[in-house]
Amino acid sequence: MLILGLESSCDETAAALVTGDRRVLAHRLAGQEEAHRPYGGVVPEIAARAHVEALEPLIEAALADSGVSLADIDAVAATAGPGLIGGVMVGLVTGKAIAHAVGKPLIAVNHLEGHALSPRLADPDLVFPYLLLLVSGGHCQLLLVEGVNRYRRLATTIDDAAGEAFDKTAKVLGLGFPGGPAVERAAQMGDPTAVPLPRPLFRSPEPHFSFAGLKAAVARIAGDYRPEDVAASFQAAVVDCLIDRTARAIDRAPGATALVVAGGVAANNAVRSALSSLADAHGLRFVAPPLWLCTDNAAMIAWAGAERFAAGLLDPLDTPARARWPLDPTAEAVRGAGV
Ligand code: ATP
Ligand code: MG
Ligand code: FE
């Protein structure tokens, strides 16, 4: 089975070819950092236009890398949401056009499902159900992944995502955009105990997250300390919150075979090693995808497509693009955040 995957939900345009037996034949990616840098964040209209320009050449390049042709694919998997609607439409419409042209089915992939299943692309031994910390630029959730298309949300953020707090911290420290990797680099040269920072919702009974107060505290005190110390103290606070909240959720996921992390913030080494220790302490296996598979890419979309294809989950060509699309539609909004 061979799946073409397309991703365009935020500021990464990507195309990949992945097989049902976990071979990544090609994966191509074009970031838009330069286009957005002057604004210190992603500008939706600029992003959508950049996706239009980048996507077709990336698909051509991925096909050339892998030596296959469109006639060889079994299905086209495209991100159909959630994300910036203009960008999502670019990838989804392109996917529909290719599916129609080559007479193969379309698979409309939830970007979060791409992140959620990405650890299974890297690790064939990872079986359902597993406890997933999905921590990215727009989301911070704990999910029980029971199977393909079966996600039970145990917790979410009541305000900001952890990745957003990393990006904001980088911005106030003048470390540039995107922020996560820059904060992690600066933190290596700083003292994590130098700056007193809050740990919102620490030890609260429900495993939900909150990062708005931490983000605001960083903005308030940033000028009073060395940037490296702020970065290190901020990262330590995020790690403490993620570990405390995840520990709560472990108690609510008794059947889980592993503790798994995915999403852009999963690329952070302090986060990975703290979660690994937490898993050890609970006798759980720890699984984290390789760094390139944590941040947005199309291999995870192709792989989610492969998993859905194998489960017979195909989508009609009039499937709409969705700006919002919760993985667990039964989960209730938390303090109106609904994320
Ligand atoms: P979502 O997946 O929620 O729709 P997104 O697609 O924008 O959001 P991802 O690409 O999955 O997010 O992740 C990007 C986020 O990950 C950014 O906030 C970025 O700062 C953060 N990030 C990337 N690398 C690191 C790192 N090494 N340390 C901390 N954060 C990181
Ligand atoms: Mg990005
Ligand atoms: Fe993402």
Tell me whether residue 136 is annotated as binding: yes
Task: Tell me which residues have their CB within 5 A of the ion that is ligand 2.
Answer: 11-12
CA gap 245, 334 in Å, rounded: 15
Nearest CA to ligand 1 atom 2: 136
Contacts of 67 (CB under 8 A, 6+ apart): 25
For the chain, 339 residues long, give each residue's pLDDT as a single digit of tens: 999 999 999 999 999 999 999 999 999 999 998 999 888 789 999 999 999 999 999 999 999 999 999 999 999 999 999 999 999 999 999 999 999 999 999 999 999 999 999 999 999 999 999 999 999 999 999 999 999 999 999 999 999 999 999 999 999 999 987 799 999 999 999 999 999 999 999 999 999 999 999 999 999 999 999 999 999 999 999 999 999 999 999 999 999 999 999 999 999 999 999 999 999 999 999 999 999 999 999 999 999 999 999 999 999 999 999 999 999 999 988 864 444
Ligand nearest to the CA of 186: 1
Ligand nearest to the CA of 162: 1
Q: Is 157 in the pocket of ligand 1 (CB under 6 A)?
A: no
Residue 335 has a pLDDT of 66
Name the 3-class secondary structure at 180.
Answer: helix
Residue 178 has a pLDDT of 77
Residue 339 has a pLDDT of 42
Q: Is 295 in the pocket of ligand 1 (CB under 6 A)?
A: yes
Closest of 327, 322, 261 to residue 293, by C-alpha: 261
Tell me whether residue 115 is annotated as binding: yes
ipTM of the complex: 0.98
Residue 336 has a pLDDT of 45
Q: Is 216 left (phi over 0), alpha (psi -120 to 50) or beta?
A: alpha
Residue 177 has a pLDDT of 78
